[in-house]
Structure 1
Amino acid sequence: MSHFHDHSLPEPGHLRTRLAQAGLRATRQRLLILESLLLLPGHPTADDVHRRVASQEPSLSLGTVYKALDSFVAAGLTRRVASAEGSCRRYDADCSAHHHLFCTDTQEIIDFRDPELDTLIQGFFEARGLQNFQAHSFSLHITGSKLAGEKIIK
């Protein structure tokens, strides 16, 4: 699943294909919402997506954006990511295996990948043998503060 890190405009045909592969009809509204989700930096909220889409389609309601985003989550096109307090839902168009660092000062959510950490977590749970539970995936949500001037290695 590709993610447009450079925030360039995705090809309309590519968006239609992604929706079709997820089993969703490629309506104009869904295309606009998916495009916005892919182009907005970071992990946008439904409000962020709605603001961007409303500039092109003023009649599109926030409720429609939520419904579309929920259908994208159900279809595996995006993931829901909670803020540290869990008060607002944010969305991540990158569905590859990764973790999130949440900065309580800036409210920024930063993607974090570490194959060594993943191996440690898998080994830990294999050794524990969770009763009546089969883990399929995992994602850590780590809360803290970015240090001024420090670059986070993703």
Structure 2
Amino acid sequence: MHASASAVNPGALRSRLAQAGLRATRQRLVILESLLTLPGHPTAEQVHRHVVGHSPSISLGTVYKALDSFVAAGLTRRVASAEGASRRYDADCTEHHHLFCTDTQEIIDYCDPQLDELIRQFFAARELEGFQPRSFSLHVVGTRGMK
């Protein structure tokens, strides 16, 4: 996901942090901007490499803490790789699913209202005792066929 220029201007970044209940520190602003501008679903290490170009004093630990605070505040979501070894982050918090290609390690966003309705109907028919689903996100592992 590449954010538009207006989504990464300092005022918009400060507003997003404030709406999430987070202070707009210099480190959080730089990390959030990187997360919004890096392609795909970056790891904390990829965000850190991007951030140190602008702010060399920011440590990898600071990046992890900021990303974890973004997840807790609902600004971003954590997405696992197929093996679950690396944590990747998704700045798009709208409802969508992920297709993970084991050949390229790429995570592809996938939206399908018909699939979403099938999932809702499936769980409504099951009447899970004491459980009420509020949201869902599928993580489908496979390979991307060559065209």
Compute the displacement of 1:6 (Å): 5.3
Contact map agreement 2:2 2:38 (CA 8 A) in 1 = no
Runs of 4+ in structure 1 deviating by more than 2 angstroms, as ranges, are 4-9
> Quick one: which of 1, 5, 10 aligns to 2:2?
5
Deviations 1:46-81 (A, max 9, x none): 000000001111111100000000000000000000
Contact map agreement 2:30 2:51 (CA 8 A) in 1 = yes
What is the one-letter code of the residue matched to 1:130? L
Compute the displacement of 1:134 (Å): 1.2
Give unpaired runs (5+ residues) of structure 2. none
> Quick one: which of 116, 135, 138 aligns to 2:136?
138
The range that moved more, 4-13 or 139-148, is 4-13
> Quick one: which of 61, 86, 111 aligns to 2:109?
111
Q: TM-score, normalised by structure 1?
A: 0.92
- Please list, as runs of the form range in 1=range in 2, the aligned pairs for 1:94-109 lying within 5 A after superposition: 94-109=92-107
> Quick one: which of 24, 27, 38 aligns to 1:26?
24
The alignment of Structure 1 onto Structure 2 pairs a total of residues equal to 146
Fraction of identical pairs, as percent: 71
Contact map agreement 2:95 2:137 (CA 8 A) in 1 = yes
Compute the displacement of 1:5 (Å): 3.0
Contact map agreement 1:42 1:110 (CA 8 A) in 2 = yes
Per the alignment, residue 34 of structure 2 pairs with 36
Compute the displacement of 1:133 (Å): 1.0
Task: Identify, as 1 or 2, the structure richer in helix.
Answer: 2
Contact map agreement 1:8 1:39 (CA 8 A) in 2 = no
Compute the displacement of 1:7 (Å): 5.7
Contact map agreement 2:103 2:143 (CA 8 A) in 1 = yes
Compute the displacement of 1:8 (Å): 4.0
Per the alignment, residue 152 of structure 1 pairs with none
Give unpaired runs (5+ residues) of structure 1. 150-154
Q: TM-score, normalised by structure 2?
A: 0.96
| 1:32 to 1:6, Cα distance in 2 relative to 1, 3 A | closer
What is the one-letter code of the residue matched to 1:82? A
Per the alignment, residue 81 of structure 1 pairs with 79
What is the RMSD of the two structures over their aligned residues, measured on CA atoms?
1.2
Per the alignment, residue 128 of structure 1 pairs with 126
